[in-house]
Amino acid sequence: MFVLDQRLENDSILVENKEIFQVRLMNVKEFFWVVLIPNKPNLIELSDISVEERNILLNFASDIGDFIKFKENLEKINIGMLGNVVSQLHIHIVVRSKKDPAWPGPVWGWSDTNKLDNNTYDYRFNLVKSFLKT
């Protein structure tokens, strides 16, 4: 049975449960940050899912990143799968701006973040939902 890692549960907010993965927003105000988490148990590496599932997941990551980049007029899409702290397979999509506080460095480990306020949460949640409807 699939169980979401507690750290991912605490740090993110479910937007939608799709057939093979969850779409979640990281609870971080400074960056538009989406996380995709395959909903099968015991997945650690990308190679733990089928080629078809990989293609769906990675194409989705690319497409949602492009959508947010276009809608928000941002400069760069970072897609990463680190897994050093949380080994459960998950993909980060962070759409970046040259004006964001961590630019040009990575957002991972950048500690001066705030949780989403209600307005930012509502806006990002609805923007991601609008992509999911396409």
CATH of the domain at 22: 3.30.428.10
Beta strands, E only, 18-111: 21-26, 32-38, 76-80, 91-96
106 neighbors 76 (Cβ within 8 angstroms)? no
Please give the tally of structural domains in the chain. Answer: 1
pLDDT digits (tens, 9 = 90+) for 5-56: 999 999 999 999 999 999 999 999 999 999 999 999 999 999 999 999 999 9
| Residue 89 burial (CB count, 10 A) | 22
Q: Is residue 99 pLDDT above 90, yes or no?
A: yes
Q: Using omega within 30 degrees of 0 as the cis cutoff, is the peptide bond preceding 38 cis? A: no
Whether the pLDDT of residue 95 is over 90: the answer is yes
Residue span of the structural domain in which 39 resides = 6-132
Is residue 1 assigned to a domain?
A: no
pTM here is 0.95
